[in-house]
Amino acid sequence: MTEIGEDALSGLAPLLRVRPQLDDVCRFGGTWAAAHEPEPAGQAYFHIITHGRAILQRPGDASLPVEAGDILLLPRGTAHTMRDPDLSVQVSLPVLVRNQGSLRFKTSLGVEPEVELLCGRLRFEAAPQNLIVAALPDLLVLRVGEQPLSVRFHPLLVGIREELAEERAGALAIAENLASVLFMLMLRTHLEGSAPTDGLLRLLGQRITAQAVLAMVRDPVRAWTLDDLAAVAAASRATLVRAFRKAAGVPPLEFLSELRLGLARHRLRTASASLDEIAAEAGYQSPGAFSRAFLRKYGVRPGRVRQEALSPGPD
């Protein structure tokens, strides 16, 4: 198995920064189910199980049992349902919702709580972060109870839970800062141990290509040449091209073009910059050339992506 080197992981560290938003503290008992609709691009769902057991159900997938100490991350914000393990009756018990600022406390009525979930979303605001997200699976599961993870992750889980339980001044901000560290560690742990199957991860798993990729990710608008990238990689141009083709199926400058288009697509969805500005940021001399390249890559024009991002969703 090719693993991502330590130097590459260090270079990726700034791209793993995330901003968690804790939405719900759920204390459920009896028969319960909580459905979650798809989230917009750049947002991920997470669930931290701090007590009891539950089931994660995703459309088309087998149910996944989870328990206290498990952390679930759905990087692409896909639809799913959290439910009790013994849901045989398709009617959930009523839930009391109490708001404290932006945080909701949801408690089943008439029964003792059997499970506690901390639920929220991760926001990936910087475009390079979304490059990392694209390389992640649809679901990440971290089981903190398994060694050696518990030593590092358990104190963070305890801190988050205690802050939210005590409901003191500033508790939510502190809990979200702890969660930010937790998820950065979770992403790093996944990248350290995964077999790179995505083109980006395969490139990061090779010494020759890793430094060139990190240079392009850090400064995608620079007018990189093959000579520049070969110098960064400390390799000949021919060696670098062969390594890129083997790992990702494309030469370095084509990877750069795809990287820029991917970042441009993210900007179209999330930023107020004009199409002309985004075209220039993507390294194109004219909006027309950018539009044609974007159409070849994604099958739609940039203006359509911007229009869809601005359109209100269905009620």
Domain definitions of the chain by residue range: 17-193, 200-310
Q: What single-letter amino acid sits at 55?
A: I
**In angstroms, rounded to a whole number, what is the distance separating the alpha carbons of residues 240 and 254?**
13
CATH class name, domain 200-310: mainly alpha
Q: Which residues lie below 8 Å from residue 52, measured CB to CB, with a gap of 6+?
A: 67, 68, 113, 114, 115, 116
* 261-273: pLDDT as tens digits: 887 887 787 667 8
DSSP H or E stretch at residue 120 = strand 115-123
Quote the pTM value: 0.69
Q: 103 near 92, Cβ under 8 Å?
A: no
- Fold (topology level) of 17-193: Jelly Rolls (2.60.120)
- What's the CA gap between 97 and 92, in Å, rounded? 14
Q: For a pLDDT cut of 90, what percent of the chain falls above it?
A: 37
Tokens representing residue 134 in the block: 């694209």
pLDDT under 70 in the chain at which residues? Answer: 1-17, 41-42, 87-91, 124-132, 134-135, 147-149, 192-199, 270-271, 311-315
pLDDT digits (tens, 9 = 90+) for 41-65: 667 899 999 999 999 999 988 899 9
